[in-house]
Structure 1
């Protein structure tokens, strides 16, 4: 049997999850110096989650000049929490001319390392090199920066003109953020016409736009279509829609969708299910899902959990949640916490919240409410709003 046939056999064993047999064959081929064997072995180990074993194999492949190892090794570094090292690795790969490496470096710095200055440099490099999708991704990146909306739209239009259907979807998202659902639909329908991955990003946005325009039957059709197409987030999206707009019968469908979304690990599923349960007065279940949402990184759940705990008389736990929400940057939590303090007879502590409220962008009206509700010493005037 030729080395090519042996390598193909090892790949088949790996695909069948017969990893021990595959590993034995891969190691034999690596020992014989067969090109590609080390990368495929490392990839198998990485996909199985055996990152400590995968890393040295992939580094060996890289040292031997097999640039296919870069992306797999990058995956391993990210999975083991070494994000900056992963970013630098892809910069090295880009320096060696590996296709797509500059764009991946940009995404790592933007989305994982949160170094937007470095990310922008690599987005521009990726565009200069003609990396597929770079213009769209850069436009989406720009759209996240306050004050750069016009620049984002210009870049996304350029991407759309070059045939990137995802750019239409991102242009639609910008219009939704601006509160222009009708304009959003124009872009989103073009994205939908592009098919492929652009369809998955457009369906839920179209459902959102139709809902905002009051076209509830159309919104429901797009939610159903997204669920049938197994779009990530579709169950949570339809569940939220039905919980708000549906009939009593639809609430049963909503709950099934919420449970499916939680089971599938859809983004925000525990939080949205918790709000649904709270609205149904199923408080104990709601608390459980709010806590799960917090464990998954949803700092938006703290305040709502705090309000439930406050109503149940669990004041110490409620206060911990209020302060966590404020630390996470939620202005509404500052105002809710002020009410909590007043209810606890601790109104004298309320004025100390004002600096944080200002930091979080409180309006004059919100500051006035914060100040006006604070206790006033007899003989003193209440503080004036700015």
Structure 2
């Protein structure tokens, strides 16, 4: 296989078939040879293929060269490769250019890509525009997007706590993890604690990181099982939910393990959790 790739690569400069060059670049990328793949995609771009620019952007982004990736995606869009909108939005978010990311995600929506339009809703919500975010997601839900419908149910539950949302939350539990968390919250607040536990534990078994924090809180507040709660918080941290640091710290502090509590508050604060940062300041840490 390597000899075949190397032979095709040696003929790269003489090749004027952009599709063949892109195919070679994809094969090289699949083989983990990203530098050689980059050469191919640049060659395809030289031959006038917008898809070459798009694939080049993907390789550059994967290698951490996000500013160069932005330029490649923009060139791809200029050439008519509309699939580049979504990836452009993602790298602009990584660069902190939120206004640019919003523009890119709007471009995705205009091109008919519901995934990108939903990314726009998430970004608007992160920027403190929940009503605009809900409007975008609701439009997608009305058009038949099941994931967007689950997102809408979750956000409306967070905002209103309306028990009438139960059917929508149930319909969305396997579409959007936040809907599962919302359903568990609804069940708990309406006295159905056994089912709430089942719903959260199922989410955890499915690998949904968002389930661990409320599950840990359930073990602590409903069952009084600190050992199970600690395991849940630690599993949440391992799954990437940095908010679990704060609740684990509270549990450790209640046990008298102040050093452990401070350590987790520092970790949470370092990951941007304002709740952990505030608690750390209160402890003088």
| Superposition TM-score, scaled by structure 1 size | 0.56
| Structure 2 unaligned spans of 5+ | 1-7, 9-16
CA distance in 2, matches of 1:59, 1:86: 12
Structure 1 178/74 Cα, relative in aligned 2: closer, same or farther at 3 Å? farther
Q: How many angstroms does 1:172 deviate by?
A: 1.1
Structure 1 partner of 2:5? none
Structure 2 partner of 1:142? 156
Structure 1 counterpart of 2:128, from 114, 134, 153: 114
2:85 and 2:107 in contact (8 A); partners too: no
Q: Which has the higher contact order (CA 8 A, sep 6+)?
A: 2
Alignment of 1:122-161 (within 5 A): 122-145=136-159, 148-150=160-162, 153-155=163-165, 157-158=167-168, 160-161=170-171
Structure 1 partner of 2:4? none
CA distance in 2, matches of 1:6, 1:62: 20
1:123 and 1:134 in contact (8 A); partners too: yes
Q: How many angstroms does 1:184 deviate by?
A: 1.7
Structure 2 partner of 1:235? 235
2:150 and 2:172 in contact (8 A); partners too: no
CA distance in 2, matches of 1:223, 1:59: 47
Report Cα offsets for 1:306-354 as digits up to 9, x if no partner.
5544xxxxxxxxxxx8xxxxxxxxxxxxxxxxxxxxxxxxxxxxxxxxx
1:140 and 1:156 in contact (8 A); partners too: no
Work out which of the two has the higher radius of gyration on C-alpha atoms and give 1 or 2. 1
Q: SS at 1:36's partner residue?
A: helix
Q: How many angstroms does 1:294 deviate by?
A: 3.1
Structure 2 partner of 1:357? none
CA distance in 2, matches of 1:105, 1:304: 32
Q: How many angstroms does 1:94 deviate by?
A: 1.3
* CA-atom RMSD in angstroms: 3.8
Structure 1 183/104 Cα, relative in aligned 2: closer, same or farther at 3 Å? same
| Superposition TM-score, scaled by structure 2 size | 0.73
Structure 1 268/76 Cα, relative in aligned 2: closer, same or farther at 3 Å? same
| Structure 1 unaligned spans of 5+ | 227-232, 238-260, 310-320, 322-386
Instruction: Extract structure 1 runs of 4+ deviating beyond 6 A.
Output: none
- 1:100 matches 2:141: no
Q: How many angstroms does 1:82 deviate by?
A: 1.5
CA distance in 2, matches of 1:211, 1:274: 13
Q: How many angstroms does 1:56 deviate by?
A: 1.0
CA distance in 2, matches of 1:86, 1:156: 33
- 1:298 matches 2:283: no
CA distance in 2, matches of 1:203, 1:4: 46
